[in-house]
Structure 1
């Protein structure tokens, strides 16, 4: 036992000294800026925040419900702490201030113009490669890249986000919502969170990579060559995403969260199979005749193929490899799925609590249906009717 204790103590001392030195270096850099600053043992963007965030949220859940915001000592160790804390930190430290920690510095601003300048001047404000590497579990993507590499990614990923994709999302959302309503009509209780998340997964599976999933597909057996269904693989990646990002695969496979490893490998296998199918269809000359027109995977592969055709001899590469396709599909899915589901859940709760909002929303929906009926249409369409939802759009934007 003693033989293990000595190395552990030595490692702890070395680690503590390294953290202390890093904190001193960060403090010295902060003082040079002339900005006000404060300290935190962990900041919200570092790896340790995956531990402090859930722990502190669990410890202070009752305290936060009273509207007090975060205790000063814990505030910056929590991801997205500002939503509960409101403007308290800026009242204390000013419109622009620094948080100094052993992992470096973070600058927070309440100045809208400054925030806009930072977001638009990509060359001057480069994202940390160390941090961005964490969001590449399946490959490089448009969010994690910078500079010329970002321009390469945006050139291929931007075109798919057009009316074709919007029409597909509209149609599939209507179809999946019909399943949801039917399920609720025969159920004694409605599981709002889990059902809305399933709705989001099913819509994103169709819009993201052209796979239409029925409401009960998640309970079906895995297809040949797979350990789990597509829906279960997606849910597993979402559920275990922090561990997938933090742990190397060999450790994840042997950890208490080994189900995350299975979900990770299954999701990757499904995606590579879909990519192979779509690439074969495009190579045969029918790339735009995918069974699910407008899905992002097909559109992105088609754009990539067009770029490759137009490539001049000796020019730099202009098309994605499979890892880049997979990385971007995953990022699109994660960015759209979680935010959309949470917005819908929050909107449903808000409507349940505010009858005036209910009446306004229902009134607009009824009016648009009446206008469609007057034009001889029984169903609403993305092209004709979506632009008419002014109040609904404002309500959902506020919910988000």
Structure 2
């Protein structure tokens, strides 16, 4: 009996091994025939089981002889695009290569021309939707759809992302930034203070801005007062969106949203029926926040729907109202029995609301955080930014900053250069996923040669690679050749360093115009902004070389929203304050005051070295790329009272 069971088990193992071998053979043959350089790796990185098992698999592989794991080992690191950056492409001698496994082949590219081809042939290289399936927790949405369904979602959700709405984003960001700084400084503008919550506070600020600009919900900074909903929603309870807990709820709106975002990975990756019944505090909190925020969104939906049907919504372009109207729900449709069926379901509306809150606030918040960190480490660049801000604002108070006048100037000044350089170094996502469909291999021009991308290939547009590809960027020698900014990537140039000046090729060519659309009528009909990511006054990288917001038709719908928010924060803070690295771990404030310039440089250098280590080793992706361990202390000081001030 035992021998029969053992034999059956061996047969099953043999059958499985044969299946794996045959699939690997097919993948390998397709890679060989593609004309694209390839390498064989043992694991498919997008496999969730492999991602979970790396905790013990990676240490085991590190113990193997180097000859066994070279050159593929680093490509088994789930986020090798961040930790290795451009180095693998340089090592393989190509900016586009395939990795072959028994499960699936993956194409990685840091080639601007290849990226441009892929992003502009959206039907040939569709989005890899399996990566985004977990984002459907409230319903389908513009991120989790493709083809005609995506076109439908995109057309409906696009109207609020307009220049008209950006005026509101600019004003709201300035107000929220002022409240944030006041909370740090205690209302004493002449004080200086070290803040260790900059990342968290940037998240709160960005969340408040998208709540107001995207949904008409005004959220006040903690301690400032109660929030109220946009006046356009007749009969809505203002308290429903404050820090209080209204009737029918067990959490306030802000707590529900904050806890949902804090536990977002748990909610996204755990089946809801399981999350509901897990006997842990963290699971109970995660499930509760998921349910509570869903209830708030549904109440907002029902309230604004009622206002629209009554004709009392006013002249509003917030996202929720745009989606409801786009779905065919209008005052006229309510009185017409022959009106067509609703074109966007209730769950789709809630699904889009969730992804815009999730993705919209993280992208801008992380960029704000890292802009502050990089400027604290690069004093000369910070002073350059402040000089440009002084020239733009001419000492006028914030209340007199006019969007139409100052935002184009910010976009084309050192403020725009700082934003662009931060997004080049720390793009929101390391790799943008695309694919080829099953049964649909695709031709692709690679290095001037016609190649064939096999069917069912998973594609990664490696932003950290193309953003550091020396072919496309103004470069100079490394600041310290003996101690390069990264141990393996671009050790012979400065592309791993924060140098916003690389965008200012002609400092005198300050252009007060925003980049314009390219005249693509189909893109315009879908609300796709085809204007350049960068100002005409700054360096213009080749198409496909700069992809912090992706490229082509599937580029980020909230790109301008995020850019205006980032520029507004930089303008408000650096027009009034300087930001320094905290040296509290190495010296007290009193000790620093007594130091010579040489001693100050030494202690500042220690703080800078630690921050550089954190940015190199402690980063990782949750939804977007961010600091995963610890915090970075930053000291805010009124301009003119700086302790560290040198070029």
Normalising by structure 2, we get a TM-score of 0.52
Give matches, 1:337-348, under 5 Å: 337-348=361-372
SS at match of 1:182: helix
Cα distance in structure 2, aligned partners of 1:172 and 1:18: 61
Cα distance in structure 2, aligned partners of 1:186 and 1:14: 70
SS at match of 2:364: helix
Contact between 2:89 and 2:110, CA under 8 Å: does it hold in 1?
A: yes
1:320 aligns with 2:363: no
Following TM superposition, by how much is the alpha carbon of 1:284 offset from its aligned partner in structure 2, in angstroms? 0.8
Contact between 1:343 and 1:399, CA under 8 Å: does it hold in 2?
A: yes
1:69-116 deviations in Å (ceiling 9; x for gaps): x9952434424x323312222123322211233542221112211111
Distance 1:17 1:299, change over 3 A: same
Q: Which has the higher contact order (CA 8 A, sep 6+)?
A: 2
Contact between 2:308 and 2:331, CA under 8 Å: does it hold in 1?
A: no
Contact between 2:159 and 2:317, CA under 8 Å: does it hold in 1?
A: no
Distance 1:378 1:211, change over 3 A: closer
SS at match of 1:104: coil
1:244 aligns with 2:250: no
Partner of 2:307: 281
Can you give the 5+ residue segments of structure 1 that lack an aligned partner in the other structure?
Answer: 1-5, 60-69
1:46 aligns with 2:47: yes
Distance 1:316 1:89, change over 3 A: farther
Contact between 1:133 and 1:144, CA under 8 Å: does it hold in 2?
A: yes
Cα distance in structure 1, aligned partners of 2:117 and 2:140: 26
Backbone CA RMSD of aligned residues: 3.6
SS at match of 2:97: strand
Cα distance in structure 2, aligned partners of 1:184 and 1:318: 47
SS at match of 2:105: strand
Give matches, 1:348-387, under 5 Å: 348-370=372-394, 378-387=399-408
Partner of 2:125: 125
Following TM superposition, by how much is the alpha carbon of 1:359 offset from its aligned partner in structure 2, in angstroms? 1.4
Distance 1:203 1:71, change over 3 A: farther
Following TM superposition, by how much is the alpha carbon of 1:38 offset from its aligned partner in structure 2, in angstroms? 2.8
Following TM superposition, by how much is the alpha carbon of 1:260 offset from its aligned partner in structure 2, in angstroms? 1.9
Give matches, 1:187-226, under 5 Å: 189-190=194-195, 191-216=197-222, 220-226=243-249
SS at match of 1:108: strand
Distance 1:24 1:226, change over 3 A: farther
Following TM superposition, by how much is the alpha carbon of 1:35 offset from its aligned partner in structure 2, in angstroms? 2.7
Contact between 1:279 and 1:301, CA under 8 Å: does it hold in 2?
A: yes
Following TM superposition, by how much is the alpha carbon of 1:322 offset from its aligned partner in structure 2, in angstroms? 1.2
Partner of 2:636: none
1:156-194 deviations in Å (ceiling 9; x for gaps): 112221123212211211111111111111296422111
Distance 1:110 1:298, change over 3 A: same
Contact between 1:152 and 1:318, CA under 8 Å: does it hold in 2?
A: no
Partner of 2:97: 97
Can you give the 5+ residue segments of structure 2 that lack an aligned partner in the other structure?
Answer: 1-5, 60-69, 188-192, 227-240, 424-647
1:175 aligns with 2:175: yes
1:87 aligns with 2:111: no
Distance 1:222 1:306, change over 3 A: closer
Post-superposition, which runs of at least 4 consecutive aligned residues in structure 1 deviate over 6 A? 12-16, 306-310, 312-316
Cα distance in structure 2, aligned partners of 1:268 and 1:306: 21
SS at match of 1:214: coil
Distance 1:75 1:362, change over 3 A: same
SS at match of 1:48: helix
Contact between 1:49 and 1:77, CA under 8 Å: does it hold in 2?
A: no
**Rg larger in structure:** 2
Cα distance in structure 2, aligned partners of 1:170 and 1:386: 9
1:261-287 deviations in Å (ceiling 9; x for gaps): 222222211111111111111111122
Contact between 1:49 and 1:78, CA under 8 Å: does it hold in 2?
A: no
The farther-off stretch of 91-100 and 25-34 is 25-34
Cα distance in structure 1, aligned partners of 2:261 and 2:71: 29
Cα distance in structure 2, aligned partners of 1:88 and 1:101: 21
SS at match of 2:123: coil
Cα distance in structure 1, aligned partners of 2:86 and 2:25: 28
Distance 1:370 1:129, change over 3 A: closer
1:213-255 deviations in Å (ceiling 9; x for gaps): 1111799443222222222222323232222222211112234
SS at match of 1:124: coil
The farther-off stretch of 94-103 and 135-144 is 94-103
Normalising by structure 1, we get a TM-score of 0.81
1:395 aligns with 2:415: no
Cα distance in structure 2, aligned partners of 1:97 and 1:316: 49
Following TM superposition, by how much is the alpha carbon of 1:352 offset from its aligned partner in structure 2, in angstroms? 0.8
Contact between 2:39 and 2:72, CA under 8 Å: does it hold in 1?
A: no
Instruction: Give the counterpart of 2:322 among 292, 299, 302.
Output: 299
SS at match of 2:99: strand
From the two aligned structures, give the one with the greater strand fraction: 2
Cα distance in structure 2, aligned partners of 1:299 and 1:161: 10
Partner of 2:293: 267
